[in-house]
């Protein structure tokens, strides 16, 4: 990324608004993105936990799988992921991962079965920005002829997150209040057509709103005019998801980590465990049965200083047993928090660890994730 100039970077439909709001912009996944606004990362984090924060996540990839009927489309995608998608009900969402033949994670993604019967045979996908072109190539190379992938670069994506988020959104989109966690539906924000899901990446209640790119700025300005809504940048997005124990692709998960090692076994469907038929199934199912050699865990370092990504994790005898993959200060936890991988014998909550921070050992222990109480609406 370092050699890219601002002119080389892609811009989301809200780029002009970010500049107007005084955002500090940084390169991220090929886009010029806001890392923080005038409140600063700490203020934005705490505001999202207390009221409502508006995030521009339009850099993420939105696409639609289109097949003749739901089961055909679901089974086509099931050849690439370990989730049970056939059983998805209309309007329901599921978190899963695209897998390589070794069971490693190519990307993690959200899959939604549209709520309307007229969209039968379609699945809505949201994938990570840095991975989206590779994801699309991988799917296109492996989909059957009767299932196609439509990339929706004409759409923007906003996230309104926090305890007040849904009540605020319901002022212009009353149907948002009827959604429960991990469901979505097509609706309107005033007269703007959009797709709203009750989901997010913060550990808070909230919604993600897919909207035509040309209407995104009008929607964002309307929401930001509300007294309780502030714009939130990538800095607070990262600290919020870290406190919630959520993985960041390319850091906590990648092509070398399996869902079992990543503590995402819950996302492998029961039927899929019985039937297999997904990339790396032999390895993944063996790890479910016998345990994985390493596991992603939460980590609580002692003291106030954070342990950053790449920090070596040692046992009591000084042996390297893993590494931190994400770390920082948790404003809501009011303490440093981290996650990383440790050898399986050290994965139990309460296990003492030693973190090598600037060449010096620092006491820590394996901790329960999330580091805060999640407040999704069930």
> What CATH number did the domain enclosing 347 receive?
2.40.30.110
- For 51-80, the pLDDT digits (tens) are 999 999 999 999 999 999 999 999 999 999
Beta bridge mates, 362: 355
Same domain? 228 vs 345: no
Residue 334 lies in a domain: yes
Please state, in angstroms and rounded to a whole number, the distance separating the CA atoms of residues 18 and 28.
15
Residue whose C-alpha is closest to residue 150's, from 62, 269, 262, 72: 62
CA distance 53 to 202: 10
Angle formed by the axes of helices 40-50 and 234-243, to 10°?
Answer: 50
Residue 324 and residue 340: Cα distance in Å, rounded? 4
What's the structural domain count of the chain?
2
Residues 158 and 239 in one domain: yes
CA angle 65, 262, 86 (to 5 degrees): 30
pLDDT over 80 at 272, yes or no: yes
Using DSSP bridges, classify how beta strands 155-161 and 184-189 pair: parallel, antiparallel or unpaired: unpaired
CATH number for the domain that contains residue 12: 3.30.1360.120
Provide the 10 A C-beta neighbour count for residue 4.
Answer: 11
238/299 same-domain check: no
Q: Where are the beta strands (DSSP E) in 190-283?
A: 192-197, 206-212, 229-231
Quick check: is 281 in a domain? no
Residue 121 lies in a domain: no
Give residue-wise pLDDT tens across range 96-117: 999 999 999 999 999 999 999 9
Q: Indicate if 298 and 228 belong to the same structural domain.
A: no
Distance separating alpha carbons of residues 104 and 93, to the nearest angstrom: 22
Q: Is 163 buried (19+), middle (13-18) or exposed (0-12) by CB count in 10 A?
A: middle
- Interval 144-162 mean pLDDT: 98
CA angle 62, 99, 132 (to 5 degrees): 25
Q: Do 162 and 236 fall into the same domain?
A: yes
353 to 62, 115, 140, 316, 322: CA distances (angstroms): 40, 47, 44, 7, 10
- Enclosing domain of residue 338: 293-378
What average pLDDT does the chain have?
96
Q: Are 164 and 50 in the same domain?
A: yes
- Last residue in a domain, options 206, 226, 243: 243
Residue 271 forms part of a structural domain:
no
Asked if residue 31 and residue 158 are part of one domain, the reply reads: yes
Q: State residue 18 phi and psi, 5-degree precision.
A: -60, -45
Domain assignment present for residue 106? The answer is no
Q: Give domain status of residue 196, yes or no.
A: yes
Q: How confident is the model at residue 5 (pLDDT cuts 50, 70, 90)?
A: low
- What percent of the chain clears pLDDT 90, i.e. is strictly above it? 94
List pLDDT tens digits, range 274-306.
999 999 999 999 999 999 999 999 999 999 989
Contact 72, 121 (CB under 8 A): yes
Q: pLDDT band for position 186 (50/70/90)?
A: very high
134 assigned to some structural domain: no
With a CB cutoff of 8 Å and minimum separation 6, the contacts of 108 are 95, 96, 97, 98, 128, 247, 249, 253
**Which residue, of 208, 224, 243, is where some domain finishes?**
243
In a domain, 353, yes or no: yes
Is residue 274 within 8 Å of residue 304, measured between CB atoms? no
Identify the pLDDT of residue 1: 40
Residue 118 has pLDDT above 80, yes or no: yes
Q: CA-CA distance, 236 to 53, in Å (whole number)?
A: 10
Instruction: Assess whether pLDDT exceeds 70 at residue 240.
Output: yes
Q: Which of 212, 243, 274 is the last residue of a domain?
A: 243
Residue 378 reports pLDDT greater than 80: no
Same-domain status, 235 and 315: no
Q: Are residues 45 and 193 in the same domain?
A: yes
* pLDDT value, residue 6: 67
Mean pLDDT, rounded, for 127-134: 97
If you count them, how many residues does the chain have?
378
Report which of 353, 326, 322 is spatially closest to residue 337, judged by C-alpha positions: 326
Judgement on whether residues 183 and 301 belong to the same structural domain of the protein: no
Determine the pLDDT at residue 2: 47
Query: CB–CB of 45/231 below 8 Å?
Result: no
């Amino acid at each position: 990324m370092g050699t890219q100039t601002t002119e080389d970077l892609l811009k989301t439909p809200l780029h002009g608004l970010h500049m107007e709001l005084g955002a500090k912009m940084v390169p991220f996944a090929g886009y010029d993105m806001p890392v923080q606004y005038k409140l600063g990362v700490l203020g934005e984090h705490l505001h999202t936990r207390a009221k409502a924060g508006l995030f521009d996540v339009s850099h993420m990839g939105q696409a639609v799988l289109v097949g003749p009927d739901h089961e055909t489309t679901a089974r086509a995608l099931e050849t690439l992921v370990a989730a049970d998608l056939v059983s998805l009900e209309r309007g329901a969402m599921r978190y899963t991962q695209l897998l390589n033949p070794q069971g490693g994670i190519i990307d993690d993604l959200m899959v939604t079965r549209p709520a309307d019967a007229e969209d039968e045979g379609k699945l809505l996908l949201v994938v990570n920005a840095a991975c989206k072109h590779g994801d699309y190539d991988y799917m296109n190379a492996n989909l059957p002829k009767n299932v196609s992938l439509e990339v929706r670069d004409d759409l923007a994506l906003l996230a309104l997150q926090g305890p007040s988020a849904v009540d605020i959104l319901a002022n212009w989109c009353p149907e948002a209040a009827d959604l429960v966690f991990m469901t979505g539906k097509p609706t309107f924000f005033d007269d703007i057509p959009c797709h709203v899901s009750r989901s997010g990446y913060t550990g808070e209640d909230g919604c993600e709103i897919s909207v035509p790119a040309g209407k995104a700025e009008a929607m964002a300005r309307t929401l930001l005019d509300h007294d309780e809504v502030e714009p939130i940048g990538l800095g607070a997005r990262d600290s919020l998801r870290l406190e919630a124990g959520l993985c960041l692709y390319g850091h906590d998960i990648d092509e070398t980590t399996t869902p079992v090692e990543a503590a995402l076994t819950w996302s492998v469907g029961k039927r899929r465990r019985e039937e297999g038929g997904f990339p790396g199934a032999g390895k993944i199912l063996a790890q479910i049965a016998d345990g994985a050699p390493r596991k992603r865990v939460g980590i609580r370092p002692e003291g106030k200083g954070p342990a950053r990504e790449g920090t070596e994790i040692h046992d009591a005898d000084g042996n390297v047993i893993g590494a931190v993959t994400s770390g920082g200060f948790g404003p809501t936890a009011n303490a440093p928090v981290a996650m990383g991988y440790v050898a399986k014998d050290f994965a139990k909550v309460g296990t003492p660890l030693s973190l090598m921070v600037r060449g010096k050992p620092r006491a820590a222990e394996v901790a329960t994730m999330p580091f805060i109480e999640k407040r999704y609406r069930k």
